[in-house]
Amino acid sequence: MTAFTPSFTRGLHEIGDGLFAWLQPDGGWGWSNAGLIVEGRPGDGAAALVDTLFDTQLTAEMLAGMERATGFGAASIGQVVNTHANGDHTHGNHLLEKADIIASEASAREMEAFSPALLAQLKAAGAAGQMGVAGRYFAEVFAPFDFAGVQERTPTRTFCGQTQLDVGGRAVDLIEVGPAHTAGDVLVHVPQAKAVFTGDILFIEGTPIMWAGPVSNWIAACNRIIAMDVDVIVPGHGPLTDKAGVREVADYLAYIDSEARTRHAAGLSAEDAARDIGLGRYATWKDAERIAVNVDTLYREYNNDPTPPDAIRLFGLMGQIYYDRR
């Protein structure tokens, strides 16, 4: 870890050279991180936000904290980068009415899949005892979040591959590394500050979840971060990390790929393989039941199956594994 890495406590942390990280312990389901890039002062400077949070209240609290600390609030943040499509990184977009919302083209398409309204319906159904184990698990892990007040705001600008933002004269590189965690994952690299915001390419002290794949893309994204000249690495979930933390994520992905391939070749189903794989040192990571999604995605890759994941079925399987182990 770098000498100035803050502890993993909730709220805004200055990480040097006009950069800030908003951290949300414990980093599990929905508790995502965000970032702020500031150049100059309000009125004659500029600011860009990296991701919003899972609901309106959480994002409003974050924006108020950022404004108290820097003078840049919702009205003066000119650009928002969504690192990917998941709602815990996008559902606060509507609070930044004047900002340009930037994402990869693939992420913009994917944002339509799980709208805030749908999440609210699924959570309510699960809390009411509907949808079986999937509903129970869904309602439990997302209990802290209020999707009912979210008004979705989709990207106003998209790109493919790589592009660069100008934040008050500071260059910020947006690098598309998906599909991996999702269809259109993006790294936000600030070369001048030797920092990178990774979105959900990195889960630190938590289990990565691979909705899209292929696994090789995700491992390549980790290797790309390792090759960068960076001192500060802000993950999508969990505490700030260093390159050793990035290698741990890559090692987990390589491990489950190897273990899943062995079981696929032996004829085990994806569900049986997910239950059979021993997690070893990764068993203590939060949300270990995500192995169910990861193996399902790997099996579809091995079978050249373009079918998208059946999220409800997979939430049910994660729930079964979670409740069995608990």
Burial class (CB in 10 A: 0-12, 13-18, 19+), 229: exposed
pTM score, whole prediction? 0.96
pLDDT, averaged across the chain: 96
Q: In angstroms, rounded to a whole number, what is the distance separating the alpha carbons of residues 54 and 31? A: 8
| Helices assigned H by DSSP within 185-305 | 215-227, 243-265, 270-276, 291-302
Is the pLDDT reported for residue 197 higher than 90? yes
Architecture in CATH for domain 11-325: 4-Layer Sandwich (3.60)
Q: What is the CA radius of gyration of the chain?
A: 19
Q: pLDDT tens-digit profile of 22-36?
A: 999 999 999 999 999
Annotate 25-85 with DSSP letters as a single string.
Answer: TT-STT---EEEEEES-TTT-EEEEE---SSHHHHHHHHHHHHHHHS--GGG--EEE-SSS
Q: What is the pLDDT of residue 43?
A: 87
Phi, psi of 254 (to 5 degrees): -65, -35
Q: pLDDT tens-digit profile of 227-236?
A: 999 999 999 9
Q: pLDDT tens-digit profile of 127-167?
A: 999 999 999 999 999 999 999 889 999 999 999 999 999 99
The mean per-residue pLDDT over the stretch 171-184 comes to 98
Burial class (CB in 10 A: 0-12, 13-18, 19+), 227: exposed
Q: In angstroms, rounded to a whole number, what is the distance separating the alpha carbons of residues 178 and 162? A: 11
Pairing of strands 157-159, 100-104: parallel
- Angle, to 10 degrees, between the axis of helix 116-127 and the axis of helix 132-141? 110
Q: Quick one: tokens of 191?
A: 């070369």
